[in-house]
Amino acid sequence: MVACPACGTETPASASDCPHCHLAVALFDPVKEAAGPAGRQDPVYMQTVGELLRSVDLTAPAVPESDRGPALLDRSGTRRRLDAPSDRPSRHPEALAPLAGLPALPPRAEGDDLRRRFEEYRQLGRRLGVDLGPMVARAGPAALVDDVGTQQAIVREMFVHLAGHLAEEFDRLLAHRNELAQLVPTPGADVEFSSIRGAISVGDLVGASRRLDHVRDELAHVEEEWATGRILATECDLLAETLRELGGDPEPALGPLEEGRRYLGVGRREPAERMLARAAIALWSLLKPRFMEELKRLRDRLIQERGAGGDIGPAVAELRTITTELRQRNFVGTIGAYRHLRAIVDPTETPIADGPAAPVGDPARPAPSA
């Protein structure tokens, strides 16, 4: 028996993959090595990329053998290069519905109640950035002549403007919640949305605004808390896609990716991040040989271009970036720089995979066991 380096499940030596996360046994050693101490020596491929760089840029320094890579779950560099975390659904919650319509107008007020409501709406409009200036300007003369009917009409108009603004903000935050809920649980925000519906239904605009602030903060917290998992999932998707583009098959490494998404979907952040990090390492171990051959091909094209008197400066800059990102173990940055390099060297060519590319987490694949 041998322990799976992705999930720790004891796996028979004769098995083809882990019985829990379905990581291929052939990938156990690469993942185990990559998931070891952060201070290990640079792998051989760092030297290979350094040699490729020096072959087209004689001013490039050698890659120091003593360089250290960051820890496996250190995605600080990835955050800098990643603009859109993965939105591939990992759960299927019920979407919260938008507001059915604007609330009924509150009952007419007079005297102190009318003045209090006017001031409440005026301050709320200022805080929300809603322009109530024309209405406020009309209210002054009406108050001087004690025109209660006009004052009541102005207050109702203010209410409609504020309620419309809050309804728009509600729908915007609700769309954000429904997006996030496809990936991770959002129980705190869901409770607040229910409270907002109740507040708006009875015309409590101040209470609804306060709860919208709570929802905004809660969704920002959820997004920040789960950012690493979403980034790792995106990283895995990008690696799998690139592997297919270069004619490879990511299937042996997709099990941990599916299991990591499942952990995300049930709100288990730490095991999700660990599983997705190991899925990225497994996918990279499959991609690495093809990726190095592709870099050699692009290097040869650059040498030809330089021999013909062409300007290879922009391409060399991207190759330098690949070296830097690999040293930081930032696979997203590595693939991004590679694609920029490919676009410069082969602007009209795109690698063709052997056969159609299946999506990550192909439904035809049996789901990993819980």
Q: What is the pLDDT of residues 173-189, one digit of tens each?
A: 999 998 888 878 888 89
Q: Is pLDDT at 165 greater than 80 in this prediction?
A: yes
Tokens encoding 282: 């497994």
210 contacts: CB under 8 Å, gap ≥ 6: none
Question: pLDDT class for 140, splitting at 50, 70, 90?
Answer: confident
- The 10s digit of each residue's pLDDT in 89-130 is 656 767 777 777 667 677 787 888 888 989 999 999 999 999
Reported as a single tens digit per residue, the pLDDT across 324-359 is 888 777 888 888 889 998 998 887 765 544 443 443
Determine if the pTM surpasses 0.75.
no
> Residue 136 in 3-state DSSP?
helix
Ramachandran bin of 238, using left for φ above 0, alpha for ψ from -120 to 50, beta for the remaining angles: alpha
Q: Please state the φ and ψ torsions of residue 2, each to the nearest 5 degrees.
A: -135, 145
322 vs 34, residue with greater confidence: 322
Q: pLDDT tens digits for 308-333?
A: 888 888 888 888 888 888 877 788 88
The alpha carbon torsion through 336, 342, 348, 352 (nearest 10 deg) reads -80
Q: Supply the pLDDT for residue 66.
A: 42
Joined tokens for residue 17: 């993959």
Cβ neighbours of residue 319 closer than 8 Å, sequence gap 6 or more: 49, 52, 53, 56, 57, 295, 299, 302, 337, 341
